Structure formats: C-alpha cells, structure tokens
Structure 1
Amino acid sequence: MGTSSLVPVIDLQDFPSQSQKLIDASQEWGCFRIINHQIPTTLMSDMKSVVRSLLDLPPEIKRRNTDVIAGSGYVAPSKVNPLYEGLGLYDIGSTHAVLDFCSQLDASPQQRDTILRYSQSIHKLAMDIGNKLAQSMGLASDLFMGWPCQLRINKYSFTPETLGSSGVQIHTDSAFLTILQDDENVGGLEVMDKKSGEFVPVDPMPGTLLVNLGDFATSDLIDTFTNVSKVWSNGRFYNVKHRVQCKEATIRLSIALFVLGPKEAPLEAPPELVDSENHPRLYVPIHFEDYRKLRLSTGLRAGELLTSYLQAMFHFD
C-alpha cells in the first residue's frame, strides 16, 4: 500500500458511524479525503474550466481582484513562490461578494452561474463538515455559523526546468479548515507524516475532496509541552504541514475553500473542551485577522508564528 493511500477516507453519508474515524483522522493526520460530499462531479469539472480561464486572463485584469482582508486577493508569482499565482474570493457565503468577484474579472454569464453554484455548494459542505467535527466531539452543531469563508483558485506553471522544485513553500493554512479540490490529473501535493516527519505524496482521487486543518484548528508546540495543540480543539487536533512539488511539466490547478474564523469575536476553545485536570486552557483568545496580518508581515507560514505567540503569551520555557 502506497503512503498516499494511508490518508484516511471519510464517508460523509455514514454518520454518526464515522464520527470516531473523523476525530482520529483530525488527531493523527490533520487531513482526510471525503467521499459522498454531494457536490456533482460535473460542477467540479465546470468550475475547474472557469478557474483555468480566469487565471489565463491578462495581469491587468487579475490585479482588479484586490484584498478585502489581508492577503485575500490576487497573488502574483513571487521570488518565494515563482511558479504560483492565485485569485481570491472573500466571504463566499455572500451572493453580493461572489458577484463582485465575477465583475472584477469580467466573468461571462455562464462563468458567473458556475461560480455561484460552486460557491453555494462548497460553503454548504464546509458548514456540514464543521458541524460533523463539532458533533463528533459532543458539541453543538452550529458553532461555525456566520464564520466567513474564502475561496482561492490556484495555478502552478510547471516547466521542464522546474521539475523537482517546489510549486509553493512548506506551510500550514492559517484558517480553521481547508477543503481542497486538487487537480485530478496532476499530482504534487505532499503532507508531512506526523510520526516520521517525512513528506508523503497525496495522489489525486477524482471525485473526492481533501480536507486539512489549519492554524486555527491546530498548531505545533514545543515537544516538552504537548507536541501538538490547537486553538479551537484545545490541543486535540494536528495541523499538517504541506507543500506542492513539481512532478511534471504542465499546468496544475486547484480550488481551495478556507473556513477562516469568527468575524468579530476572538477564537477560543469551547468550555466543553477545557478542564483543569487533563485539558487546561492552553492559550488566550486570538482574533483571526490579527493572526493573519502577523503571518503575512513576518513571512512565517508553517505554524511557527502561532507557537511564538503562545509562548510569548504564556511565557513557556
């Protein structure tokens, strides 16, 4: 059995039977494949075609996709990630925001329809996954209602000269969780195995989606403390470091939905996940936007910033 096949597969139509498997995957891998997610494969294919068209637009049009919050708009190829570029749609739960995004990029009526239908479907799915995570931990299922979500569409321009190089640097996601529609034809995504510390490939599985937990779900801490920790789960989940490697000379496209965090209130572990004996509260509440700005300004993208923040706040030795 290949290493990529070890990533757990969760059947969303088999709950609550899959609840423990979901929690185990969140603790041991920080990521999992989902099947029976109710997003039609035809819509996924149509959205990928739209993504390709939008990312082939002239730079002056793509630059209209400006930030709503820090880092939410167009990202051009850079010195750090020269093979990558992406467009962003902040708050996909808002039809107005989705239509604004379409207008920025002169999307055709057909493209607008596809983007709207995909946004509604992936947003509904994100809330469902969040609810299942909460329910699997014995919590209320409406904890994530109203949390803004961001869509990011990504393009990696791989050439023969870039084989073996990184399409994007090693990083964790800053949000609570990510739903990824990866390229069904082009591999390259790798995740860090928690036990070995080695990167293992996560090969495409057409028709499925990949979910991984971000810094607002989990974050690495010093081994002498708890080894892995997280803001929302109070130390129970694992956030997986990942990267994209250039495996073949072609264009690789992906679509990522990020569940960010509470819009106004700071994020903290629910009281049900805190007890003085086995699970003391590990950190103070933190606002997502403050954390996101710090990540962007420092360039620390692999969980180090949250660790530093927590160590500073609690004076860990």
Structure 2
Amino acid sequence: MAKKSIPIIDMQDFSSVAEKMVKACEEWGCFRLVNHGVPIELMSEMKMVTRSLMDLPMEIKERNSHPEPGKGYTPPNMASPYFEGLSLYDMASPGAVHDFCSQIDASPHQREILDKYAFALFDLAQIIGSKLMEGLGLGGELFKEWPCQLKMNKYNYAPETVGLTGAVMHTDPGFLTILQDDEIVNGLEAVDEITGELVSVDPIPETLVVNVGDVAKVWSNGRFCNVKHRVQCYEPKIRVSIALFVLAPKDVKVEAPPQLVDSGHPRRYLPFDFEDYRKLRSSTQSPTGGALKFFLVESS
C-alpha cells in the first residue's frame, strides 16, 4: 500500500494548476509546490542566512521586538521549549526589511538576501492568490496589499528530545503560509481531514509547502480546510524552516465574497476583524482554530 502524502502541484502545469490548488485546499488544506519560480540558489542562501541569524546571541535576537505578541522574536517557552523564531511583520511595507535588519545588526549581504527572498515569496503569494481566484471562478486579485509576516524558525533538537513535540498541534490563523521546510531534517506532520490520521510531510528539496489557515476557511465559506499540523523531533539535529504568512486584508473584515454565498451555500461565518480574532484565539487557548465557532452563523 502506497504511503499517504499531501498533494504535489507543478506550477508549470498551466492548464490545471488553478483547479488542482482549489481541490488541494478543499481536501487537504495543504500542498507542495514544484517549479514555483523562487530561485533555488536564493532558497539555499536564505537558509544559510537564517542559520546565521538564529545563531546570534540571545540579547541580539531579543532586539527583534514588536509591541504585540507573536510579531517579534519568539524565545523558547513552556509550550515549545525547543523552538525559537525571528519575525519580520508586515514585511512588504516600506522600510520593514531595513528596520528588521537594523534591529539585529544584519550584514549588507544578509540584508540583500532577506530583501530578495521576502519579495520573491511575496510575488509567489500573489500568483497563488490569482490561481485560487481563477479556480473558484472569481475575478480580481486576492492578496493585494495584505500584510504578510516572514518568520525564520529554529528547532534546537538534541538526543533527549527525540520523539517530543517541537511545535504543538495548531492551525495557522491567517489565510495561507508558504513554507520552506528543512530539506534534510523531517518533522512536519499534517492531519488528514477525512481520516484524522497524522501524515508525515516528507521534505522534497527545492520545493515549498503551502498551508491553508483559519482566514481561508472563513473566506471560502467553509470550502477550504484549515489544516491542523505540528512539528515532531524525529532525530537529534537542528531543524530550520522559513515561513511567509499571508494574513488577512487591512482595515477590512474577513468574510466570504458574495459569489461564494447562495441558497445552496448559505453564509457560514459572521465577518470579523483579523487582529481581534487572533487575540480571541489566544485568550480562548484555541490553537487549532476552535475560536471560529464564535463566528458561526446560527442556522434558522
């Protein structure tokens, strides 16, 4: 019996990529992209930059600060004692990359790679957004001017951590995440929405993983699956990953477009402000999207 795995989508398969993306969002809430257009050399350089930045002294990493939790440096904590991450919030806004690099004294080369990588992924996100719109039969752009968060992650694994959890089971709060996973050290696992079983998302070099989050579930009127996933420690090696979180529209409430609502598919969720929702997720301790229940439309 073949091992179960998440869908793999070739972005050069122009005739069917939009349809395949929508199907993967509906059935899995995640998929792996090949031929995605982000230069392989840039991905490799970004991984080296991430490793070097994550190896900085703690007092320098802590300069990556933000007034709101989750938008700056994440130190090892009770929930995830082996995980830490540097964060570049709203990275497409003017000066965001420069400000981040200034916080941690990044070198000119590191600044250059960060800038190129952030905007290569941002461009890819726009393409994915247009393909999802196309696959749903909708017109217009999806992610234009949406805030995005770039996060560099490090899992400090050791022999005594094998079999333990590096990142607890969760869904991503935003619309989608584009992830460069560690091509050598495995550990990412996704929940099969139909069976509930955990499926190992085995790394494939030179590819990217896309995860669908809570905002996408609401925006799609329940069609898309906000995939539950976690990171386990399979072996005592440092694991590095880089994620671009495409969050939610600025100054506009999250809701399904009218084209996805009709008599056969009544509106499932009330509109909400994303930042309010993110705080509700935290205050209700709902890492797997359970807070969405507070926005369900009551059936008549």
TM-score w.r.t. length of structure 1: 0.91
DSSP-derived class of the 1:85 partner: strand
Residue type of the alignment partner of 1:233: S
What does residue range 296-315 of structure 1 map to in structure 2 within 5 Å? 296-307=282-293, 309-311=294-296, 314-315=297-298
What does residue range 260-279 of structure 1 map to in structure 2 within 5 Å? 260-276=247-263, 278-279=264-265
CA distance in 1, matches of 2:292, 2:68: 19
CA distance in 2, matches of 1:282, 1:68: 33
DSSP-derived class of the 2:113 partner: helix
Render the CA deviation track for 1:254-275: whole Å, top value 9, x for unaligned. 0000110011110110111000
Number of residues of Structure 1 aligned to a counterpart in Structure 2: 300
| Residues 70 and 292 in structure 1, CA contact (< 8 A), matched pair in contact too | no
Cα offset, 1:200, TM superposition: 1.0
DSSP-derived class of the 1:158 partner: coil
- The residue aligned with 1:225 is none
Render the CA deviation track for 1:67-106: whole Å, top value 9, x for unaligned. 2544111111011110100011011212400110011010
What does residue range 235-274 of structure 1 map to in structure 2 within 5 Å? 235-274=222-261
Q: 5+ unaligned residues in a row in structure 1: which ranges?
A: 219-230
| Residues 46 and 113 in structure 2, CA contact (< 8 A), matched pair in contact too | yes
CA distance in 2, matches of 1:118, 1:264: 27
DSSP-derived class of the 2:219 partner: coil
Cα offset, 1:294, TM superposition: 1.6
| Residues 222 and 268 in structure 2, CA contact (< 8 A), matched pair in contact too | yes
1:3 aligns with 2:3: yes
| Residues 132 and 141 in structure 1, CA contact (< 8 A), matched pair in contact too | no
- The residue aligned with 1:59 is 58
What does residue range 1-317 of structure 1 map to in structure 2 within 5 Å? 2-4=2-4, 6-67=5-66, 69-218=68-217, 231-276=218-263, 278-307=264-293, 309-311=294-296, 314-315=297-298
DSSP-derived class of the 2:245 partner: strand
The Cα RMSD (Å) is 1.5
DSSP-derived class of the 2:21 partner: helix
Q: 5+ unaligned residues in a row in structure 2: which ranges?
A: none
CA distance in 1, matches of 2:69, 2:129: 24
| Residues 95 and 116 in structure 1, CA contact (< 8 A), matched pair in contact too | no
Cα offset, 1:303, TM superposition: 1.1
CA distance in 1, matches of 2:190, 2:67: 29
CA distance in 2, matches of 1:18, 1:26: 12
| Residues 30 and 211 in structure 2, CA contact (< 8 A), matched pair in contact too | yes
Share of identical aligned residues, percent? 56
CA distance in 1, matches of 2:111, 2:100: 9
| Residues 34 and 211 in structure 1, CA contact (< 8 A), matched pair in contact too | yes
DSSP-derived class of the 2:214 partner: coil
| Residues 219 and 254 in structure 2, CA contact (< 8 A), matched pair in contact too | yes
DSSP-derived class of the 1:170 partner: strand
Cα offset, 1:253, TM superposition: 0.3
From the superposition, tell whether residues 178 and 82 of structure 1 become closer, same or farther in structure 2 (CA, over 3 Å): same
From the superposition, tell whether residues 59 and 298 of structure 1 become closer, same or farther in structure 2 (CA, over 3 Å): farther
Cα offset, 1:194, TM superposition: 1.4
CA distance in 2, matches of 1:32, 1:107: 33
DSSP-derived class of the 1:3 partner: coil
